[in-house]
Amino acid sequence: MEGVAGPETVAAGKGRRTVPLLLAVAALAYAIDLGSKVLVVERLEHRPPVRLIGTWLELDVIRNPGAAFSMGAATTVVFTVIAVAVVAVIARLARKLYSTPWAIALGLLLGGALGNLTDRLFRTPGAARGAVVDFIAVRNFSVMNLADWAITFGGVLIVALTFTGRELNSTRPPKTP
């Protein structure tokens, strides 16, 4: 049948592009992150932590100008630039994207980057220096948000895809004997 991609066509990177999937995953991750931040700021900020699992897991709103574990609080602008670069790189990679797992991984990364970038651009004090809203507190570990989780899961998936030899165009390198 003409116009239908067979296995050999997909293996050559000529199958159906998965950019719509990437965009859908990114939009979903972004919307969930943004919605959760609006809710916790409205209902939980300036209140005592809400215990979910004793003191092991709590909802505790903090404003984080830095990166993971509040590192680099004085370099918020650098993290803003990094987030913009991540978005630009993913946009460039999308042209070669034919792999469903890669679309999911990059979509998670993009949605998470956009979620935290939105905070950096529009939250106090603004102008690329805004503090990210974190609220998922894991005792003796970190306080995170859902964008951080999307970035982490996207990154883990990217590492797994890389180690298994999956390419953006859905090909795999030939197995060596």
Which of 33, 60, 119, 134 is catalytic? The answer is 134
Catalytic residue flag (residue 134)? yes
Backbone φ and ψ for 135, nearest 5 degrees, come out as: -155, -5
Catalytic hit among 33, 60, 119, 148:
148
The Cα–Cα gap between 63 and 94 comes to 32
Q: Are 12 and 167 in contact (CB under 8 A)?
A: no
CA-closest candidate to residue 19, choices 89, 99, 86, 83: 99
- Reported as type and span, the H/E element at residue 27 is helix 19-43
Instruction: Note whether 59 and 49 are within 8 A (CB).
Output: yes
For the chain, give me the number of helices (H) and strands (E)? 5, 4
Say how far apart CA 154 and CA 32 lie, in whole Å.
Answer: 15
Would you please indicate which residues are annotated as catalytic (active-site) residues? 134, 148
